[in-house]
């Protein structure tokens, strides 16, 4: 439950995002209407990202030499002081001007997490394989964890700091984003969405290894189910909502 925004810690992982990061952090600094701190967690970029971040007066820079998207986010979250954490990529693909939507919805719904969904984006900028993979993962996640999310792979989220401190997160790479949803669902934390638009990457290379991440994400979803309590909760949910006569 999040009834008040005291301070927002925006955590941004970067690995060689020199052509993207300045636009992203400048927009957040300008548009975010709540008290904030912006934390960039860089994985020892070699393309000038670090220098660009250092040159801004408003970003806190953390170097996390251990590789992995999840590892970088975890380090950023550990250093975050806000009662709400917003995570977003530093690659300019998410429309960060929608950041206030996430926070407004969080308060309005008293939610523990709000995700920015790219599934209603009229530009349809998501690559075909990413779109299909996301749909399949989201279907399995929603079905097994009794949720109604449309974009489980969104990396643009507002999260209650207290809630995330209460769950155990082990994944170091892209499956981190799914593990967070699995743990929140298991703990009964509330999750909801707002829509956003999405742009294809303009600069630099993707760090997403589709096959490896796909396996890790599915194994995260199914591992979460190997828990008697979760099986029981699911059974109760389906009985109540689908098998009632």
| Chain residues in the site for Mg ion (CB under 5 A) | 89, 91, 93
In angstroms, rounded to a whole number, what is the distance separating the alpha carbons of residues 19 and 185?
Answer: 36
151 binds ligand GTP (CB under 6 A): no
- CB proximity list for 230: less than 8 A, separation 6 or greater: 145, 186, 224
CB of 242 to ligand GTP, least distance (A): 33
Q: Provide, rounded to whole angstroms, the least separation between the CB of residue 206 and ligand GTP.
A: 3
Tell the smallest beta-carbon distance from residue 21 to ligand GTP (Å): 8
CA distance 229 to 103: 32
* Nearest residue to Mg ion, scored by beta-carbon proximity: 89
Residue 138 makes contact with ligand GTP by CB under 6 A: no
Residue of 18, 69, 134, 193 interacting with ligand GTP (CB under 6 A) = 69
Least distance from ligand GTP to the Cβ atom of residue 48, Å: 13
- Burial label for 188, CB within 10 Å (0-12, 13-18, 19+), is exposed
213: CB partners within 8 A, 6+ apart: 173, 174, 175
How far from 177 is each of 115, 165, 211, 213, CA to CA, in Å? Answer: 11, 15, 16, 11
| Interface characters, 72-111, with ligand GTP (x: CB under 6 A) | x----------------xxx-x------------------
Binding to ligand GTP (CB under 6 A) within 174-203 occurs at 201
Which stretch of DSSP H or E encloses residue 117?
strand 113-117
Binding footprint of ligand GTP on the chain (CB under 6 A) = 13-15, 17, 41-43, 64, 67-69, 72, 89-91, 93, 155, 201, 206-208
């Amino acid at each position: 439950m999040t009834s008040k925004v005291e301070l927002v810690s925006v955590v941004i992982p970067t690995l060689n995002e020199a052509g993207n990061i300045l636009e992203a952090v400048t927009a957040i600094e300008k548009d975010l209407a709540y008290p904030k701190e912006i934390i960039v967690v860089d994985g020892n970029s070699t393309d000038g990202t670090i220098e660009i971040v250092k040159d801004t007066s408003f970003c806190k820079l953390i170097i996390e030499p251990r590789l992995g998207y999840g590892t970088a986010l975890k380090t950023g979250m550990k250093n975050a002081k806000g009662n709400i954490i917003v995570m977003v990529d530093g690659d300019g693909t998410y429309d960060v001007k929608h950041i206030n939507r996430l926070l407004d919805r969080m308060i309005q719904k008293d939610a523990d997490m709000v995700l920015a969904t790219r599934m209603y984006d009229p530009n349809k900028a998501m690559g075909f394989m990413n779109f299909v993979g996301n749909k399949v993962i989201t279907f399995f996640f929603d079905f097994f964890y009794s949720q109604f999310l449309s974009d489980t792979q969104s990396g643009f989220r507002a999260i209650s700091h207290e809630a995330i401190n209460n769950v155990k997160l082990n994944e170091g790479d892209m499956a981190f984003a799914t593990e967070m949803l699995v743990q929140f669902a298991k703990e009964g934390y509330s999750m909801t969405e707002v829509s956003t638009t999405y742009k294809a990457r303009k600069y630099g290379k993707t760090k997403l290894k589709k096959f490896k991440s796909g396996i890790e994400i599915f194994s995260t979803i199914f591992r979460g189910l190997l828990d008697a309590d979760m099986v029981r909760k699911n059974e109760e949910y389906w009985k109540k909502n689908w098998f009632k006569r």
